[in-house]
Structure 1
């Protein structure tokens, strides 16, 4: 089960202090330039944070980017109120989990953290459509591919049980050899290049269309 120490119900744990400045920065941005109403909220780790073209890629719907780089799902659980409550989003899209595995979390722990985030998110976005982008393969973490596949399978089942749409970006990012295809990645072998984000945009756009959000 998800470690209760990672829950917002407890006192502020030292492991979350490193993110306080980034979360505070979101609030400061909102004071200076209020986020759009009825927007699609994107949350998660650096692959979300670095999606600088998000608004341009999805011009038909207002978007809010609240990714913070290096974060694990537990960090989004802990800060769920600050990440979701101010925006009353029309929909939520999450990408996170790869950092959890890189930090030594098991696929089961990643699934449980995801379930905890869904529970928290539903407190402030009860009926908003919710999509989870599967953990991507990548060049810099090749050895973790079996764990990534296992975590994705567990999260897919959990998402189905919790009325969350699972969006598979893992399979389209594989090459003919079953490994991550370099054409989607930046020079670090971990983050996406423009082609990678174009692929993600197509997946998200199709989901938004199916949900009647475009």
Structure 2
């Protein structure tokens, strides 16, 4: 009897030990998943994209689309035009914007304002890749609405590095902006140089960012808004 009891206790201890180890492993993986910026970014982008797809597009006269720089500002209220639609998604990349164009452009869309590219460069994409994609973006937009005015913003300056490297983003941004300027010129689009208004090759002017050297504060948005106002009011 004692032998059976001891054996039973031993088996239970082994089971409890194995189960504890298994639960700990699962919990550890979950913590890593939730702490992983890429996982959080993908989840957020999918949720935001699903939300925007449910919004009507029949009155999208002016659409501003891009990444967090676009999303984090109240464009319609700031410019006084309720027909401006904010279609920014934090951390979005240029292919993501291209994929979303059919959902945001309608027969009523007169102006498409685009701000995208910094996340591609930060993830290791080349200026040449963005050059190819910005031309594709312009052409897709015009295929959806032939009379649309496409406005391409320069990528903002930053002193940040390419993720996982010591390579500065600034030279890549400057090269990409020159590609954007030429692409707009050659494809009947408009290029807006915000780069030189917000900073230089050393990054954003300290007056215009909240401390992360990447995003804009209220003063930074005021500068950008001034540059875009002629197109937001249309």
Q: Give distance in 2, aligned partners of 1:39 and 1:207.
A: 11
Q: Which has the higher helix share?
A: 2
Deviation at residue 140 of structure 1 after TM alignment: 3.1
Give the alignment partner of residue 137 of structure 2, picking from 114, 117, 138: 117
**SS, match of residue 169 in structure 2:** helix
Unaligned 5+ segments in structure 2 are 1-41, 162-166
Unaligned 5+ segments in structure 1 are 1-16
Aligned length: 187
Find the counterpart in structure 1 of residue 183 from structure 2: 158
Q: TM-score, normalised by structure 1?
A: 0.79
Find the counterpart in structure 2 of residue 136 from structure 1: 156
Q: Is structure 2 residue 214 aligned with structure 1 residue 190?
A: yes
| Higher relative contact order, chain-length normalized (CA < 8 Å, sep 6+) | 1
CA-atom RMSD in angstroms: 2.2
CA deviation string 1:46-99 (max 9, x = no partner): 101111x211211046200001110110111122212324x7312110000111
Find the counterpart in structure 2 of residue 78 from structure 1: 99
Q: Give distance in 1, aligned partners of 2:57 and 2:100.
A: 18
Find the counterpart in structure 2 of residue 180 from structure 1: 204
- Change in CA separation of 1:83 and 1:20 when aligned onto 2, cut-off 3 Å: farther
Q: Give distance in 2, aligned partners of 1:95 and 1:50.
A: 13
Find the counterpart in structure 2 of residue 57 from structure 1: 78
CA deviation string 1:144-165 (max 9, x = no partner): 1111000000111011100110
Alpha-carbon contact 2:210-2:216 (below 8 Å) kept: yes
Alpha-carbon contact 1:36-1:63 (below 8 Å) kept: no
**SS, match of residue 47 in structure 1:** helix
Find the counterpart in structure 2 of residue 66 from structure 1: 87
**SS, match of residue 112 in structure 1:** helix
Alpha-carbon contact 2:79-2:229 (below 8 Å) kept: yes
Q: TM-score, normalised by structure 2?
A: 0.73
Q: Give distance in 2, aligned partners of 1:106 and 1:80.
A: 23
